[in-house]
Amino acid sequence: AQKITQTQPGMFVQEKEAVTLDCTYDTSDQSYGLFWYKQPSSGEMIFLIYQGSYDEQNATEGRYSLNFQKARKSANLVISASQLGDSAMYFCAMRPPSNTGKLIFGQGTTLQVKP
């Protein structure tokens, strides 16, 4: 069965510094997608970044990058130059190869950016 594990319930980072949020996944499938979402206190889930299992290069989107290590089954999110507005809950999610588009989410990591 597919599973996403986020082992950091809470993280602190100083403003303007970089931070890494950990995510490991468990699947026996060869084809899958990995996502990161941000959930501010308002409640909406905001898509940040995507990595396909066959993508050779790590995905990047602005200040977000995904450190994809397939052999270790990890997909860590790196946020560079943290801003106060980055304070939120962050979820790692996996889309298995079924064609439904369903996402399986981890437990989330709360990030607090200190001024």
Partner 1 sequence: EAGVAQSPRYKIIEKRQSVAFWCNPISGHATLYWYQQILGQGPKLLIQFQNNGVVDDSQLPKDRFSAERLKGVDSTLKIQPAKLEDSAVYLCASSLARDYPYEQYFGPGTRLTVT
Part of the chain binding partner 1 (CB under 8 A), chosen from 14-22, 66-74, 76-84, 106-114: 106-114
| Whether 91 contacts 36, CB under 8 Å | yes
- Is residue 41 a contact point for partner 1 (CB under 8 A)? no
105 binds partner 1 (CB under 8 A): yes
Query: Rounded CA gap, 6 and 16, in Å?
Result: 23
Does residue number 42 form part of the binding site for partner 1 (CB under 8 A)? yes
Stretch that binds partner 1, among 12-20, 66-74, 78-86, 95-103 (CB under 8 A): 95-103
Q: Is 78 in the site for partner 1 (CB under 8 A)?
A: no
Number of Cβ within a 10 Å radius of residue 43: 7
Q: What residue type is assigned to position 94 of the chain?
A: M
Minimum CB separation from partner 1 for residue 14, in Å? 26
Q: How far is the CB of 47 from partner 1 (least distance, A)?
A: 5
Q: For residues 110 and 50, what is the distance between their CA atoms, to the nearest angstrom?
A: 20
Q: State CA 42 to chain mean position distance.
A: 19
